[in-house]
Structure formats: C-alpha cells, structure tokens
C-alpha cells in the first residue's frame, strides 16, 4: 500500500543531523505510515542509518540531483522535503500539515515556518504572515509536497546544483495550475549547521540560478531585461553587504553566456499572466478561505 507520507532527506557529511531528524520524524503523532528516504550525496564516510530507504551518490552531485532521486523513489501521497539540519518543533506538526493539504486539494505545496535553534522565528519565511496564506514559493528547509503535483513538473532543475531551486520549482507548479501555501502554525527548528556553507558562494549561486530560471521560464520578451536587472541587483546587494563582489559579478555574466545554449534547448516559458500572478503573490500573499477546494487534476 502507498504510504501517506514519504519524508525525503538529502544530506552530505552530516550524519548526526540526519539521526536527529529521523528521530524527530519517528516521534511525530501521525497515525499513518511514513516512508523515510535519505539521499546521501557523496558523504565521506558514507551515511549509515537503520530502517530507512538509503540512496547514495558516490560523488556529490548537488542538492537538486539528490532531491530528484528522492522524488523518483518516493511512494507517498505526500513528500515531506526537509533539510537535514531541521527537526519538528511540535509532535503534531506532520498530522496537521497533512490534514491541511487534504482539505485544500488545489495546493501542491504547504510550506512550514522556520524557527531558529532557540525557537525564535527566523527572519526568512515564505511570506510575512501570521495566518495561512497563498504565496509565490516555499523554502526547501521544510515543505509538504503533493506527489501528484510534483509529477506534473520536471522536478528541481539539476543544472542549478544548489540555490534558487525552490523558486524555480514553484514557477513550474504555478504553470501547471497548482497553488503554494505558507502555514506559519506548522513549525520547524532549523539549526543552520555551518558545515558545508560558504555564504559568498551561496549568494553567487542564488543570483546565478535566478538568471538561469529567467532564461528557462520567462516569456522571451522579458528574458533580457529581467536577467540584466537580476545581475545588477546582485551587484547592489554585494555592495550593501560591505564589498562589491566584482569577481562574482563577472563570473555570473560569463556563466550566463555559457548557459544560453542549454536554456534554448530546454526552455519551457510560462504565460505572462501566470508570471504576473506569481509576482503579485511575492509582494502580497492572499488569505486562504476556510472552505476546501479540489484541484481539477485530482
């Protein structure tokens, strides 16, 4: 029988974090079957953990590849995507998340609230709201995805490696007619383990991949102006952080030119009206009505 939820944990060189998270999942008061899939993206030594479905990449292929391998292996009605350095803040979170997703069948994703290790809300959330709302995107630290919705996308764009992959996947979900929810009462502790994090590199990858997403998803007339604007915003943001990242700026420009042939072969542009609605939701999330709605594909 199909499990209700597949908990998907991509990881690299953080065995202690994975063990803490798996324990947190197993402690949930859920009442239905949970399948746990751990994708080890080239850890040295390899991750060893009992009673989970363990998938291993012999070398590190990046978060997007690891997550897509987990998607392919998942059997659940829902896929619970979690960063390996998170854990549930409350024992009923998963049950409430699944109930919420089942009540609102037109939503392909339900994003969780991010708390720091001390329980204080993080500054970075999918939307500035204290109530359930429809928003443009989720963040990959914690989200409940409807597997039927993911199957209508191409999954995470593997050329990204890491950075901006959630926003790009959400563009695909919106294009397929699905909506994205942020549910701030569903809370996750995010320890933000520093191992493997280089913030200069992360800022570069996020901006680089935002430009790649523009090349892949935006209508042709908007590609050049939006890509240039994103490149300039990276320049301005690096200056705001204290020092202009000249090296990153020119590297991004060169990388974008190299990426153009791939983008031309793999473009799947979304309609301008869908992009406009996505942009409105980024700035103005919509309250979610109490009544349930079924997605036409269900």
Tokens of 258: 């190299």
Nearest to 109 by CA among 156, 147, 163, 74: 147
pLDDT reported for residue 293:
55
Is residue 36 over pLDDT 60?
Answer: yes
pLDDT, one tens digit per residue, over 100-153 is 999 999 999 999 999 999 999 999 999 999 999 999 999 999 999 999 999 999
**Scanning the structure block, which residue is given the tokens 């997703």?**
101
Where does CATH 3.90.550.10 sit in the chain? 5-190
Look at residue 292 and tell me whether its pLDDT is greater than 70. Answer: no
What average pLDDT does the chain have?
94
**Residue 168, both tokens:** 């790009």
Contact assessment for residue 167 and residue 213, using Cβ atoms and an 8 Å cutoff: yes
| Three-class secondary structure of residue 71 per DSSP | helix
Q: How far apart are the first and last CA of the chain?
A: 19
Burial of residue 158 (CB within 10 Å: 0-12, 13-18, 19+) is: middle
CATH of 5-190, one of 3.30.70.100, 3.30.43.10, 3.50.50.60, 3.90.550.10: 3.90.550.10
Integer Cα distance of 161 and 285 in angstroms:
28
């Amino acid at each position: 029988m199909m499990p209700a939820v597949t908990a998907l944990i991509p990881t690299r060189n953080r065995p202690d974090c994975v063990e803490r998270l798996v324990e947190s999942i197993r402690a949930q008061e859920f009442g239905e079957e949970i399948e746990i899939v751990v994708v080890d993206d080239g850890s040295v030594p390899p991750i060893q953990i009992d009673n989970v479905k363990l998938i291993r990449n012999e070398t590190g292929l990046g978060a997007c590849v690891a997550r897509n391998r987990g998607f392919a292996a998942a059997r659940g009605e829902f896929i619970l995507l979690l960063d390996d350095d998170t854990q549930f803040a409350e024992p009923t979170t998963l049950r409430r998340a699944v109930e919420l997703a089942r009540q609102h069948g037109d939503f392909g994703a339900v994003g969780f609230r991010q708390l720091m290790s001390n329980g204080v809300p993080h500054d970075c959330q999918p939307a500035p709201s204290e109530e359930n709302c429809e928003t443009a995107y989720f963040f990959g630290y914690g989200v409940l995805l409807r597997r039927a919705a993911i199957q209508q996308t191409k999954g995470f764009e593997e050329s990204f490696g890491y950075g901006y992959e959630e926003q790009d996947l959400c563009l695909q979900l919106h294009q397929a007619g699905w909506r994205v929810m942020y549910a701030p009462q569903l809370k996750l502790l995010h320890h933000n383990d520093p191992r493997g994090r280089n913030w200069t590199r992360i800022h570069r990858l996020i901006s680089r991949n935002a430009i790649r997403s523009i090349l892949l998803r935006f209508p042709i007339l908007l590609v050049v102006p939006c890509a240039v604007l994103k490149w300039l915003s990276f320049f301005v943001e690096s200056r705001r952080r204290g020092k202009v990242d000249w090296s990153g700026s020119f590297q991004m420009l060169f990388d974008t030119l190299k990426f153009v042939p791939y983008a031309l072969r793999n473009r799947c542009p979304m309609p301008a009206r869908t992009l406009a609605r996505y942009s409105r939701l980024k700035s103005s999330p919509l309250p979610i009505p109490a009544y349930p709605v079924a997605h036409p594909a269900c």
